[in-house]
Amino acid sequence: MEEVLEVGYLIMVADDALFMRNIIKKALAEGGYNRIVEAANGLEVVECYREHRPDLVFLDITMPGRGGLDILVDLLAEDENAKIIMCSAMGQESVILQAVQKGALDFITKPFRAADLIKMVETYLKQ
């Protein structure tokens, strides 16, 4: 029997909060993006990226162990073409600026509207 491979973009959702990963996954699924891998901490993010090479990464700024900025630098050192969008809570504007200066494509502030998330996905996956 021939193996059927799923087609479409692969997106990684990296957030230490399960409920937030679920919210992002639900928004992505509503937009037709169903190939999703998850990571719950900094170590998992790097390992998951190496294993799956996702087309786009949503990376939380605040993660246990290693913060999102350090993980961002690691991922871009490993793959300079990595497409990473930072996720932040309100009030983290200075950290968001640092993330963009370090190579993040963009950021989305939590809480967000699902439509805004999908628009961002479509913008960066089409590049």
Domains delineated in the chain = 10-125 (3.40.50.2300)
pLDDT score recorded for residue 7: 62
For 47-87, what is each residue's pLDDT tens digit?
999 999 999 999 999 888 888 999 999 999 999 999 999 99
For 96-105, what is each residue's pLDDT tens digit?
889 999 999 9
Please state, in angstroms and rounded to a whole number, the distance separating the CA atoms of residues 2 and 11: 25
For 6-32, what is each residue's pLDDT tens digit?
568 999 999 999 999 999 999 999 999
Please state, in angstroms and rounded to a whole number, the distance separating the CA atoms of residues 107 and 117: 10
Contact indicator for 107, 96 with CB cutoff of 8 Å: yes
Indicate whether 1 pLDDT > 70: no
pLDDT score recorded for residue 6: 55
